[in-house]
Structure 1
């Protein structure tokens, strides 16, 4: 039997899990057709691209993030910089999880790395407003559902998802509450004071931005949930020389450094709060 194309494989996988989708326009149920169209009861239609993702946006959005940025992010995360974080998050996820959605997934590597540590039957989905990010995710990772979409108008059914992952990305708690199953959980990852401090020192030397606080973000998270668990993870990771330009490109901190050639960093600090919330 001939191997399925990426699009054919995605059609099959999305068809298996079509019950997770709702139309972002009219909110009715959706069906995945054999030809790769995803249609709702009101005949709104979205097409699975040849790369294996689906664009649920109802209007074009200009993204400030390029394909080159997402490719750099892919290479940085693949290098193992966040491996301890992925391990920690996987350990916080219940063994019987059926579905996990990464909101603001970018190029999808955090989700893919975490799912490698979960049982293979987990249905994993990623959504991002950036088409460039989702294009890169579909390029590198199969057997995931990749969607271009807006969290303010997401294409997922109510009470359909066990875990929502929100990794260094803006949150939409109203939609999180809508799409989570009863007893479902949100895992949000936010920077702590020393996150990428070597870059922060060079980007904002001797200014108030050299110091970072996540107090406001954490406080907002606590306000949303009846149960909250917080764990901090901090470590220094050696940084190979060839990865430094990739790191500078993938983070907004690097955008504030005028001359990248002046940056000399041999290690980088990862300092994150992992917030787990249950409504």
Structure 2
């Protein structure tokens, strides 16, 4: 028997976990058909693409992120630059979480590396508004559910997830609260003041972009979640020359630079916020 296609494998996997889905248009429960349609009883239907993902967008959206950006992001992730952060996130996910949603997952590298650190098998779902990112995720990471979608109209049933990841991405706290199970946790990662400081110093010297504060973000997080834990992770790593343009492409700090940037090391300075939802 030949190898099952990505679409066929995704249909089987999504059928197995179809109870996670709720129609982004009418919020009714959804069913995954044998021929790859994800549909609700009101006949709103979304097709699983040949690459193995499903597009749940209900209105057109043009992403500012290119396929090239996500390829660069994956190369940087594979270099191990964010490995200490990913290991720390996995520690907070813990061994009790069975369903994990990564919001703003991009090309899926963070989610893939984090679940590879876990002892248990999990149902891993990634959602991003950028089709280019989700196409890349589906290409490289199988046995996961990849969705193009908007958190303002998300395709998931309430109280479906034990853990939600929100890594360097905008938050939607109302939707996070809806999607988390009782006692579920949100893990949010935000930049700290020295994040990518080598780029900031060269590109934005003597401007407000040279420094960064996340005090307001942290306070807002604490308003929405209980039993908040915080951990700051800071380290500086050597940066191989061929990764410099890749890093500059994947971070908004590197966009539209008017000067050349010279880097032989880079600082990662991130804060992990972990909060619990109580229904």
Instruction: Return the offset for 1:120.
Output: 5.1
Moved more, 118-127 or 27-36: 118-127
The answer on whether the counterparts of 1:203 and 1:256 sit within 8 Å (CA) in structure 2 is: no
Partner of 1:197: 197
Superposition pairs of residues 148-167 of structure 1, within 5 angstroms:
148-167=148-167
Superposition pairs of residues 101-140 of structure 1, within 5 angstroms:
101-119=101-119, 121-140=121-140
The answer on whether the counterparts of 1:185 and 1:278 sit within 8 Å (CA) in structure 2 is: yes
Q: Deviations over 1:172-192 (max 9, x none)?
A: 000100010000000000000
The answer on whether the counterparts of 2:95 and 2:120 sit within 8 Å (CA) in structure 1 is: no
Counterpart CA distance in 2 for 1:118 and 1:10 is 22
Partner of 1:171: 171
Partner of 2:242: 242
Instruction: Return the offset for 1:140.
Output: 1.1
Partner of 1:11: 11
Partner of 1:56: 56
Counterpart CA distance in 1 for 2:248 and 2:223 is 34
Partner of 2:271: 273
Q: Secondary structure at the match of 2:213?
A: coil
Partner of 1:82: 82
Matched positions, count: 277
Query: What runs of 5+ residues in structure 1 fail to find an aligned partner?
Result: none
The answer on whether the counterparts of 1:63 and 1:130 sit within 8 Å (CA) in structure 2 is: yes
Instruction: Return the offset for 1:225.
Output: 1.1
Partner of 2:253: 253
1:263 to 243, 261, 264: 261
Counterpart CA distance in 2 for 1:114 and 1:94 is 11
Counterpart CA distance in 2 for 1:139 and 1:196 is 29
Q: Secondary structure at the match of 1:125?
A: strand
Q: Deviations over 1:252-279 (max 9, x none)?
A: 10014213xx321111000000000112
Counterpart CA distance in 1 for 2:94 and 2:205 is 42
Counterpart CA distance in 2 for 1:203 and 1:108 is 28
Q: Normalising by the residue count of structure 1, what TM-score does the alignment of the two structures yield?
A: 0.97
Query: What runs of 5+ residues in structure 2 fail to find an aligned partner?
Result: none
The runs of 4+ residues in structure 1 deviating greater than 4 Å are none
Counterpart CA distance in 2 for 1:118 and 1:268 is 27
The answer on whether the counterparts of 1:36 and 1:48 sit within 8 Å (CA) in structure 2 is: yes
Q: Secondary structure at the match of 1:184?
A: strand
The answer on whether the counterparts of 1:102 and 1:126 sit within 8 Å (CA) in structure 2 is: yes
Instruction: Return the offset for 1:148.
Output: 0.3
Counterpart CA distance in 2 for 1:25 and 1:229 is 35
The answer on whether the counterparts of 1:39 and 1:45 sit within 8 Å (CA) in structure 2 is: yes
